[in-house]
Amino acid sequence: MGREAKASKVCPPCDNQLKADNIMEHYCASDFAIKMKIKEVKKENGDRKLIAAQKKKKVLKMGVLRKKDLKKLTLYIKNGANCPCAQLDNLGSNFLIMGRKVDQQLLLMSIHKWEKKSTELKFAIKYMKSQQCPTYHTVFQ
C-alpha cells in the first residue's frame, strides 16, 4: 500500500516554489549553483541522472566544482527514478540548478525553471551576486 504513495510524491529537489527566500536558502546550503540547459534525463540504479547540454552554462556559485566537472556536467537526483519532477517535463528552457558534491557525485538539491520575468528570481540572483549567506550554513555539510 505504501508504494503507490511513495511513487507519486514529488522528488524533493523538484518540490519547491520559485520564491526568492526558498532559492536563497538552497543557494546558501548548496556547494554550487548553475544556470544551464539539460540535454537528457536517464534513470540509473534507482536514481535520475541529468546530463547537461554542452551549451554555455552560467556558474553562479562554483564552490567545490572544478573545470572538469563543468565540461561533463552530470547531476543525480538520489532515489529519483520514479518520483515526479514537473520541471523536467519540458527540457526546452534554462534551469537554475543547485546541489552538492558527495563522493564524487554531483547531487541535485534544487531545480527551478529559469523564468526571466520572475521578480522572485531576479531578487534571488541579486542576492547571489552579493553572496550574503549566513555563516551557519556549514551545519548542513
Burial class (CB in 10 A: 0-12, 13-18, 19+), 110: buried
Examine residue 141 and state whether it is found in any structural domain, yes or no. Answer: no
Q: Which domain holds residue 68?
A: 2-130
Tens digits of per-residue pLDDT, 14-33? 998 889 999 999 999 999 99
Asked if residues 128 and 98 have their Cβ atoms less than 8 Å apart, the reply is no
Examine residue 34 and state whether it is found in any structural domain, yes or no. Answer: yes
pLDDT of res. 54: 84
Judged by DSSP in three states, 78 sits in coil
How far is Cα 91 from Cα 97, in angstroms, rounded to an integer? 13
Instruction: Report the pLDDT averaged over residues 94-118.
Output: 94
CATH code for the domain in which residue 71 is found: 2.40.50.120
Examine residue 23 and state whether it is found in any structural domain, yes or no. Answer: yes
Total domains present in the chain: 1
Tens digits of per-residue pLDDT, 37-53? 999 999 999 999 999 99
pLDDT at 1 over 50: no
pLDDT of res. 135: 59
pLDDT at 127 over 90: no
Instruction: Report the pLDDT averaged over residues 4-9.
Output: 56
